[in-house]
Chains A and B, each alone.
Chain A
Amino acid sequence: MTTVASDDELSLTFAALADPTRRAILTRLTAGDATVGELAEPFALTQQAVSKHIRVLQRAGLISRSKVAQSRPCRFEPARFDEAAEWIGRHRQQWADRYDRLDEHLAALRATARGDEKDGDA
Chain B
Amino acid sequence: MTQAGEFTYRRVHQASRELLFDCMTMPEHLTSFWGPDGTTTPLDGITVDLQPGGRFETVMVNRADGSQYTMRATYLEVSRPERLAWIEADVEGGMTTTITFTDLGEGRTEVITHQTNVPQAYSSPEARRGFETSLRRFDEYVTALASP
Task: Point out the residues of chain B lying under 8 angstroms from A97, CB to CB.
Answer: 36-37
Task: Point out the residues of chain A lying under 8 angstroms from B56, CB to CB.
Answer: none
Q: Considering residues B9, B37, B122, B125, which has the most beta carbons from chain A within 10 angstroms of its beta carbon?
A: B122
Task: Point out the residues of chain A lying under 8 angstroms from B93, CB to CB.
Answer: 11, 14-15, 18
Task: Point out the residues of chain A lying under 8 angstroms from B125, CB to CB.
Answer: 85
CA distance A55 to B131 in the complex (A): 21
Task: Point out the residues of chain B lying under 8 angstroms from A48, CB to CB.
Answer: none
Chain B nearest CB from A39 CB (Å) reads 15
Task: Point out the residues of chain A lying under 8 angstroms from B32, CB to CB.
Answer: 101, 105, 108
Binds B, one of A24-32, A63-71, A114-122: A24-32
Partner of B19, one of A92, A94, A96, A106: A106
**What is the interface residue range for chain A against chain B?**
35 or more
Give the B-binding residues of A (Cβ under 8 A): 10-11, 14-15, 17-18, 20, 23-24, 26-27, 30-31, 81-82, 84-85, 87-88, 91-92, 94-99, 101-106, 108-109
> What are 9 A-B contacts defined by CB distance under 8 Å?
A20-B143, A30-B131, A81-B128, A81-B131, A87-B122, A88-B123, A99-B111, A101-B34, A105-B23
